[in-house]
Amino acid sequence: MANARVGIAEAAVVRNPDSVTTLGLGSCIGVAMFDSVNRIGGLVHVMLPSSSLSKTKDFNAGKFADTGVPLLLDMMLKAGASKARIVAKIAGGAQMFAIGGGGDSVLRIGPQNTDACKAALKKLGIPLIAEETGGNHGRTVELFCDSGEYEIRAIGKEKKRI
Partner 1 sequence: MSNGMPRLDAMHLDVLREVGNIGAGNAASALSGLLGTRVDMKVTRVMSMPFNEIVDFAGGAETPVATVYTRFDGSIAGNILFVIGIDQAMALIRHVTGAVEDDGISEMGFSVLQETGNIVIGSCMTAMSDFLGFELLPSVPTLAVDMAGAILSFSLSEIGRSADEAIMIDAGITPEGASLSGGSGRLFLLPDPESFGRMFAALGVRIDG
Catalytic residue numbers read 28
CA distance 141 to 90: 9
Which span (33-41, 74-82, 115-123, 137-145) binds partner 1, by CB under 8 A?
137-145
Instruction: Say whether 137 sits in a helix, a strand or coil.
Output: coil
Each residue 79-118 as x (binds partner 1 by CB under 8 A) or -, in order, gives ---------------x-xxx-xxxx--x--xx--------
User: Rounded CA gap, 159 and 154, in Å?
Assistant: 7
Compute the distance between CA of residue 107 and CA of residue 143 in angstroms, rounded to an integer.
28
Beta bridge partners of 131: 90
Q: Among 20-28, 66-74, 78-86, 144-152, which window interacts with partner 1 (CB under 8 A)?
A: 20-28
Quick check: 9 binds partner 1 (CB under 8 A)?
Answer: yes
| Residues from 38 through 67 that contact partner 1 (CB under 8 A) | 47-48, 53-56, 58-60, 63
Answer for the pair 25, 43: CB distance below 8 angstroms, yes or no.
no
Nearer to partner 1, 70 or 138 (CB): 138
Residue 42, SS3?
strand
Decide: is 20 part of the binding site for partner 1 (CB under 8 A): no
87 vs 124: CA distance, rounded Å? 11
In the complex, the residues that contact partner 1 under the rule CB under 8 A are 7-10, 23-28, 47-48, 53-56, 58-60, 63, 94, 96-98, 100-103, 106, 109-110, 136-140, 155-156
